[in-house]
Structure 1
Amino acid sequence: MTTDEKLIKLDRTDRRILELLQRDGSLTNQQLAEQVGLSPSPCSRRVRALEDAGIILRRVTLLERKKLGLTLTVIIQIGMDRHTPERFEAFEQQVATFPEVQECYLVTGQEADYMLKVVVPHMDAYQHFLLDKVTRIPGVSGVHSSFVLRRVVDNTELPLGYL
């Protein structure tokens, strides 16, 4: 944690608000207030404070991939030719523009420098993504693809029990 990343002390009500919103971001303030045992105004103020503190980043809608024809999930390990800030920054900026990329991590402890989680409709789309996008990024020196057979755990909720 950097010096500008200060932990924010949360009480039981704040944690409950976060748990409920992680499960269902479409809850109205009234519904949320009822479930945490507050009246609407204090509940709204708490949510706003969590947003202002940068704890709640945004609210999203999760979609079912298969029903949209996005049936292939690939974990890609990528090696870079040079380990310079400029090379990494250029790679990260380019990858951030690809809608197929769900997650991108700079990693250590293995041959790869980056791990990507990519979602596409089928193998032909993956081939296009790999050959026409990823391998054309300057500095990419190696690619290893692993194809997901089944999602065993696919959770977007953070474990708040540690707080």
Structure 2
Amino acid sequence: MDRIDRKILHELQLDGRLSNQELAQRVNLSPSPCLRRVRRLEEEGMIQGYTAVVDQKAYGYPLTVFARIALERHDTVTVLEFERRVKEIDEIIDCFMMTGQRDYLLRVVAASLEDYERFVRQTLHTIPGIGSIDTSFAFGVVKRSPALPPLSPR
């Protein structure tokens, strides 16, 4: 991946709906080589897809909740079952494996406090192997970026 590929990736992260013509102009290429590069980046998995950024609150999920999960056991069966179940739950937007006192950090969306309580009681508590759940509610967003930072020149 060279400097032009990085410029293409940066521009597409900022606006995935750019036409190939506009993208080519922004990265100083003609359209054909630009399209070839985009297709190669897609084939290599650097570009994993295109999506719309939706206003979470307007959509009906005004709450962002961070749930820190500690498993009771760390055997293969418990870990694999937890991860399998998490992948099936739509309200869990992100799940990260963590170091430290907790094993996983979940980013969950909810319509209300009551909705989150229902989610914990009827969904999270049904996953075997969870030892504890520690919850924090986000009351604002300071920064959310759609783009990775540019790599510094080597």
TM range (shorter): over 0.9
Aligned length: 153
For each residue in 1:7-33, what CA deviation from the matched residue of structure 2 results, as whole angstroms up to 9, or x when unmatched? xxx222111101100001111111111
- TM-score scaled by length of structure 1: 0.90
In the alignment, residue 25 of structure 1 is paired with which amino acid? G
Whole-angstrom distance in 2 between the partners of 1:26 and 1:85: 42
Counterpart residue number, 2:116:
126
Structure 1 runs of 4+ aligned residues shifted over 3 Å read none
5+ long unaligned stretches in structure 2: none
Whole-angstrom distance in 1 between the partners of 2:146 and 2:97: 20
Counterpart of 1:147 (choices 126, 137, 141) is 137
In the alignment, residue 84 of structure 1 is paired with which amino acid? D
- Give the deviation of 1:83 after TM superposition: 0.5
5+ long unaligned stretches in structure 1: 1-9
Counterpart residue number, 1:7:
none
In the alignment, residue 72 of structure 1 is paired with which amino acid? L
For each residue in 1:51-92, what CA deviation from the matched residue of structure 2 results, as whole angstroms up to 9, or x when unmatched? 111111111111011111211000000111100122111101
Whole-angstrom distance in 2 between the partners of 1:134 and 1:36: 46
Map 1:52-67 onto structure 2 (within 5 A). Answer: 52-67=43-58
Instruction: Specify the SS of the correspondent of 2:65.
Output: strand
Counterpart residue number, 1:103:
94
Instruction: Specify the SS of the correspondent of 2:74.
Output: coil
Map 1:9-88 onto structure 2 (within 5 A). Answer: 10-88=1-79
Whole-angstrom distance in 2 between the partners of 1:144 and 1:56: 34
Whole-angstrom distance in 1 between the partners of 2:40 and 2:143: 31
Instruction: Specify the SS of the correspondent of 1:38.
Output: coil
